[in-house]
């Protein structure tokens, strides 16, 4: 999955934090909901503009970022 098509940064939106497509929902929002044990179905129910692929893109982005941090350490 190429999360770069889904996760976007806009300096004029949410202080430049990575957001899902054209929404104001940040990657960190989604990861926080997953950490709080919300299921993908619950997240999509609460935020119908999101898809399963959007949630997977957040996980892929987070994993890739963590991998890059470990490589540079």
- The least confident of 29-33, 39-43, 67-71 is 67-71
Radius of gyration of the chain (CA): 12
Q: In sequence order, which residues have a C-beta less than 8 Å from that of residue 21 and are 6 or more positions away?
A: 6, 8, 54
Rounded Cα distance between 64 and 42, Å, is 25
Pick the CATH number of 3-72 from 1.10.10.10, 3.90.1010.10, 3.40.50.2020, 3.40.50.150: 1.10.10.10
Q: In sequence order, which residues have a C-beta less than 8 Å from that of residue 30 and are 6 or more positions away?
A: 20, 43, 50, 54, 55, 58
Q: Please report which confidence band the pLDDT of residue 65 belongs to, taking 50, 70 and 90 as the band edges.
A: confident
Rounded Cα distance between 69 and 56, Å, is 20
């Amino acid at each position: 999955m190429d999360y770069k098509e889904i996760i976007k940064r806009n300096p004029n939106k949410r202080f430049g934090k990575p957001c899902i497509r054209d929404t104001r929902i940040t990657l960190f929002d989604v990861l926080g909901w997953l950490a709080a044990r919300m299921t993908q179905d619950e997240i999509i129910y609460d935020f119908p503009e999101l898809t399963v692929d959007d949630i997977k893109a957040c996980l892929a982005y987070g994993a890739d970022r963590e991998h890059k941090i470990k490589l540079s350490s």
